[in-house]
Amino acid sequence: MLLAMVGSVDGSVARRLHEMGEPKPYSVTPIRFKASGRTDKGFILAPGAPCGFSVRFLDDSYMRYVVRYFTEHGDVEACGGRLRVESVHVSSKSYEELYSEASEARAFILKFLTPTYFSKWGVEFHESFPQPVSVFTNLLRLWNEFSPIKFDRKTFRGWVEGSIAVSGYHLRRDMKPIDVGGGRAVGGFKGWCAYKFFPSEEYEERTHRDFLKLLYTLCRFGEFSNVGGNRTGGFGVIKFLPENKNETNRET
């Protein structure tokens, strides 16, 4: 849907987004709606029922194509039908703002709102548990690709492996794989996972504080970028719950 919208404004830009390698500079959420029924192929959106979706760009130079689309069109094509546009909300947050506003992520929860998985180099299977090193190095890779503020991935990975642990979780795996096109179908997990900082004597306090701030930044960033495989297809949508919200917001 996004590529069709961009393509109606500038076909060359849509082709560039489609053909470029990973990571791509955008993420999406699935269409949200209240179903009126269900078939063996999925849920039914009744005519006239409200629905919504989000598009997030990690490179804001692409945003103008979507804004232009909505100024010129009153509907969008989705799943073989047309959705009438009732309202559009646009907001932005710079990488510098995300980092400067960050606290220290000593204990927190990530909610995985849509199916999530992590690809593994050199093997055919996917990782279906949000291990700290998988989640946070994935987010740092995305951050370093698009942010003007860079961090050393190898050093951060070592710190995560020695300092961040899973302190609780409630996850469930989707039993039916989702068709992602190209003859591929993948599954993933949803639910919540709690993480906690355990200081390692290998690192100085200043290093711990710097990386805890980066960790908080990456969790906030992940709410824009999604995490794991097929981010651009609505997989890996997360919500970050810092320490002071942990006890009351675990249910998904």
pLDDT tens digits, one per residue of 163-217: 999 999 999 987 666 665 666 667 789 999 999 999 988 889 999 999 999 999 9
Average pLDDT, the chain: 87
- Shared domain for 78 and 199, answered yes or no, is no
pLDDT tens-digit series, residues 66-96: 999 988 888 888 767 788 888 888 899 999 9
| pLDDT tens, position by position, 16-45 | 998 888 799 999 998 877 777 777 766 777
Residue 125, burial from CB neighbour count under 10 angstroms (0-12, 13-18, 19+):
exposed
**Residue with more model confidence, 120 or 90:** 90
115 and 188 part of one domain:
yes
**Neighbour-count burial for 152-162, b at 16+ CB within 10 Å, e otherwise:** eeeebeebbee
The two counts, helices (H) then strands (E), for the chain are: 7, 16
CA–CA gap between residue 17 and residue 109 (Å, rounded): 32
Both structure tokens of 67? 């804004």
Q: Name 127's bridge partners.
A: 118
Instruction: Tell whether the model's pLDDT for residue 110 goes beyond 50.
Output: yes
Count CB atoms within 10 A of the CB of residue 190: 17
Tell me whether residue 92 is in a domain: no
Is residue 122 located within the same domain as residue 240?
yes
**CATH number, domain at 79?**
3.30.70.1890
Boundary residue ending a domain (59, 84, 109): 84
Domain assignment of residue 185, given as a range? 98-248
Residue 207 counted as domain residue: yes
**What is the residue type of 15?**
R
| Claim: this prediction has a pTM higher than 0.85 | yes
Read off the CATH number of the domain in which 110 is found. 3.30.70.1900
